[in-house]
Each structure stands twice: as C-alpha cells, then as structure tokens.
C-alpha cells in the first residue's frame, strides 16, 4: 500500500503551484492528470497588473506580482528552462477620449506604478494606431505550455505522475486519510480546472466556463517586440510568429478548434494590422471562471480531507502561486483562507447541492 501526504488531481497552473508548495516543505505527493484540460497549456501566459478594458488595477496586483515572479524564476532554475519573458504591453488607443482616460487612470495612486504617463507614437506602418499607445509597466509572459510539459516530465521521471483519469468511485474515506485504489493520502486536492464540473464533491460550485481560442500567425512584415492589446492581444513569440487571441464562447464546452473562432480573430486582426500574414496554428481550451472573478479555494463541508483549488480565470499565471500558498497554509498550519477566495462565500449553494 503506497502512502503519500497528498494526491493532487490536475497538473495545470494551479496543480503545479501546489506541487511546488509541497516540494518546498518536503511533503510526499502523487499527481493524477489525464491531459483533458488544456487551458493552462494554451494560455498566452500574460501577467499584467491592469485591467485594460477599464483601466483599473488587477485584484491584489502588487501582492500577486511580488509572489508569482520569484516562484517562476525558481521553476526556471529547477527545470532548467526559460519561462519568464519580460515584455511591455502596449494598449492601443482608439480615440483622444481614451488617451484622456488613460492619463486620468495613471494619476491614481493604485496605478501610478503600472501605467506610463507617456503616449507612445506609432511608428510601425503596418499597425493602424493613429492615436498611439499607452505602455503598461511590470508586464511579461510565462511560457505556460513549456511549464506544463516540462513539469509533467519531471513528475514522470520521479514516478509521481499518473497519466490517467481519476476515478471518484474508488475513493474511501477514513478519519485521518482517504484511500484510493492501492494507496492512501492524508489530503486530496482537486485542481482539475473545468473538469471540476464532473467532480461529485465540488460540482455545485458556481464555476462558469468560457472557451477560448488562439491562432498563431507568421508575418515577416509586422516586426513588433511588444505585446499589443486592442480588440485582441498580439503576442510576439519569436521567429516572426505571433499568438493572437482570444475568443470567448460561453456555450461550446469542447477543446476543439473552430472555423468560427479563427474567422472572429482574423476579422479583428485585420482592423489592426495591414501586412500579410499566414495562420499556421490554432488552439483552444476551457477557462474556469467565477462570477465574482475570484478563485475557488477551500475544504469540502463533509469530507475534511478533500480540497479544491480552482477558478483561476484569465489571470491564472498571477493567481496560481497565491492561491496555492493560501491552501497549503490553511491545510498544514490552520491559517484562515482569504475570505475573497474561500468557497464558503457560496455556502448557500453548496448546502443546496
């Protein structure tokens, strides 16, 4: 009978961040992942402290940045790969009014460290930006696909990964541990993203699903070295490749790419750039989001060795290290969870379920 401190279900951003908490504290663990959830692998991986649609600060921006970036640096060193690409974000202005809104936002104490007060004049003839750009500071992107692939490989090499679907019917509960097939664990953490909707223990959580699609284009004439935010994001990947996204589809709950998604992105792209390009790839994934835009973290109301780590939404790169640390301290040190992420805020729904 194999004994571990933790079983983790899911090896996306949330699962990996929690694994890192366990590894740092010498806890034994085993991860189950069937690769059915792709949101972490296909994400752009942008970290950005500003909501660019409304020019407002991201929730806990300073705290999340100060925690997340050292963690990704540590992962780079541990996995011996490049993950963090420091790159500015330019917000394209559509009018003089938007420029004025930007200046007004940049004067706010909460945003003064994140918004440049200088308007950047567009010098690229291939981009349609007569009103220029505003630069967001302290930004970059994490190569989430490289992170997930390499971390799974590390777990594989250590015999700590089961590339299979977790079977809820095999769970047996005891006072101080849970049994699963031929193993026991003191705690089980479900970090399976959208897959939580099929989890009988946490399916009542108010998780919304938003399918997102990205296209990868190749353009020899575009030549930008910044992330461009307009009606879509354009992220330079090197070698004249750019990621363009993303769509939001609240109905389709599959990971299949669609012609509709590609057309939507290309139609928006053509209003921004005027150079030739070729679509060379397309990916899709399901984002686990929550109505109040806060993660879902906590313990099951009945089974005290079952926990959930989910709902990271579109800011998974920033949220993952924070929520993982919160959950670890809650389980191991009895530190109360941040009330804004604790699933008990939805206690009435959970009781009804």
pLDDT over 60 at 41, yes or no: no
**Pairwise CA distance, residues 153 & 151, whole Å:** 5
Tell whether the model's pLDDT for residue 297 goes beyond 80: yes
3-class DSSP assignment, residue 102: helix
Res 229: pLDDT? 95
Report the alpha-carbon distance of residue 216 to residue 278 in Å, rounded.
8
- Are 38 and 22 contacting, i.e. CB atoms less than 8 angstroms apart? no
The tokens for 5 are: 């401190």
95 with 167, same domain: the answer is: no
The reply to whether 101 falls in a domain is yes
- Considering the domain boundaries, does residue 162 fall inside one? yes
Confidence of residue 188 (pLDDT cuts 50, 70, 90): very high
Within a domain: 48: no
Report cis status (omega within 30 of 0) of the bond before 246.
yes
Give residue 245's pLDDT: 87
Cα–Cα dist 188/199, whole Å: 13
Choice between 245 and 317, residue whose per-residue pLDDT is larger: 317
The Cα diameter of the chain in Å comes to 68
Residue 56 lies in a domain: no
pLDDT band at 282 (very low <50, low <70, confident <90, very high): very high
Domain membership of residue 71 (yes or no) is no
Q: For the segment 257-272, what is each residue's pLDDT rounded down to a tens digit?
A: 999 999 999 999 999 9
We report the CATH number of the domain holding residue 250 as 3.30.9.10
Domain closes at, from 138, 163, 198: 138
183 domain-assigned:
yes
Say if residue 336 is in the same domain as residue 198: yes
Give the percent of the chain with pLDDT over 70. Answer: 96
Residue 349 confidence (pLDDT): 55
Judgement on whether residues 198 and 310 belong to the same structural domain of the protein: yes
Amino acid 207: pLDDT = 84
Same domain? 34 vs 15: yes
Are the C-beta atoms of residues 183 and 30 closer than 8 Å to each other? Answer: yes
285 shares a domain with 213: yes
Looking at the structure, tell me whether residues 343 and 244 fall in a common domain. Answer: no
Q: Higher confidence at residue 141 or residue 250?
A: 141
pTM score: 0.92
Which of 274, 289, 304 finishes a domain?
A: 289
The answer on pLDDT for 131 being more than 90 is: yes
Q: What does the pLDDT read at residue 314?
A: 82
Residue of 110 and 44 predicted with greater confidence: 110
Structure confidence at residue 38 as a pLDDT band (50, 70, 90):
low
For 144-153, the pLDDT digits (tens) are 999 999 999 9
The residue whose two tokens read 């330079």 is 236
* Predicted confidence band of residue 42 (pLDDT cuts 50, 70, 90): low
Range of the structural domain that residue 279 is part of:
209-289
Mean pLDDT of 94-122: 95
Residues 283 and 220 in one domain: yes
pLDDT over threshold 70, residue 352: no
Domain termination residue (choose one: 289, 316, 334): 289
Mean pLDDT of 287-316: 91
Q: Taking 70 as the threshold, does the pLDDT of residue 217 lie above it? A: yes
> 3 and 187 in contact (C-beta within 8 Å)?
no
- Regarding whether 317 and 305 lie in a shared domain, the answer is yes
In this structure, is residue 62 part of a structural domain?
no
Taking 80 as the threshold, does the pLDDT of residue 189 lie above it?
Answer: yes
The CATH number for 151's domain is 3.50.50.60
pLDDT at 351 exceeding the cut of 60: no
Q: How many structural domains compose the chain?
A: 3
Whether 253 and 221 map to the same domain: the answer is yes
Q: Indicate whether 281 and 299 sit together in one domain.
A: no
Calpha distance 166→186 (Å, rounded): 17
Same domain, 309 and 257: no
Mean pLDDT for all residues in the chain: 92
Does residue 52 lie within any of the structural domains? no
Bridge partners (DSSP) listed for residue 212: 285
Residue range 129-142: mean pLDDT, rounded:
96
> What does the block give as tokens for 194?
């959208």
Radius of gyration, alpha carbons of the chain: 21
Same domain, 201 and 332: yes
């Amino acid at each position: 009978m194999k004994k571990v401190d933790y079983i983790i279900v899911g090896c996306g951003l949330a699962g990996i961040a929690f694994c890192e908490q366990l590894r740092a504290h010498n806890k034994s663990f085993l991860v189950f992942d069937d690769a059915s959830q792709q949101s972490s692998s296909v994400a752009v991986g942008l970290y950005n402290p500003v909501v660019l649609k409304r020019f407002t600060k991201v929730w806990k921006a300073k705290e999340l940045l100060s925690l997340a970036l050292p963690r990704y640096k540590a992962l780079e060193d541990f996995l011996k790969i490049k993950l963090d690409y420091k790159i500015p974000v330019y917000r394209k202005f559509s009018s003089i009014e938007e420029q004025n809104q930007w200046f007004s936002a940049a004067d706010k104490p909460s945003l003064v460290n994140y918004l440049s007060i200088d308007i950047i004049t567009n010098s690229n003839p291939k981009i349609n930006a007569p009103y220029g750009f505003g630069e967001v500071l302290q930004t970059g992107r994490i190569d989430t696909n490289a992170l997930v692939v390499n971390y799974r490989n590390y777990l594989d090499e250590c015999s700590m990964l089961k590339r299979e679907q977790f079977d809820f019917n095999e769970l047996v509960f005891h006072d101080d541990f849970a049994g699963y097939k031929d193993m026991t664990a003191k705690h089980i953490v479900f970090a399976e993203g959208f897959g939580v909707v099929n989890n009988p223990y946490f399916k009542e959580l108010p998780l919304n699903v938003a399918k997102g699609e990205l296209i990868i284009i190749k353009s020899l004439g575009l030549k930008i070295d910044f992330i461009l935010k307009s009606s879509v994001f354009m992220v330079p990947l090197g070698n004249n490749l750019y990621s363009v996204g993303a769509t939001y589809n609240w109905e389709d709950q599959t990971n299949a790419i669609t012609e509709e998604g590609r057309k939507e992105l290309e139609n928006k792209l053509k209003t921004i750039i005027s150079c030739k390009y070729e679509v060379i790839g397309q990916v899709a994934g399901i984002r686990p989001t929550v109505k109040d835009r806060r993660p879902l973290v906590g313990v099951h109301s009945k089974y005290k060795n079952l926990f959930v780590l989910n709902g990271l939404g579109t800011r998974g790169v920033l949220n993952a290290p924070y929520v993982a640390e919160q959950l670890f301290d809650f389980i191991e040190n009895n530190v109360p969870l941040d009330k804004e992420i604790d699933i008990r805020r939805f206690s009435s729904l959970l009781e009804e379920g």
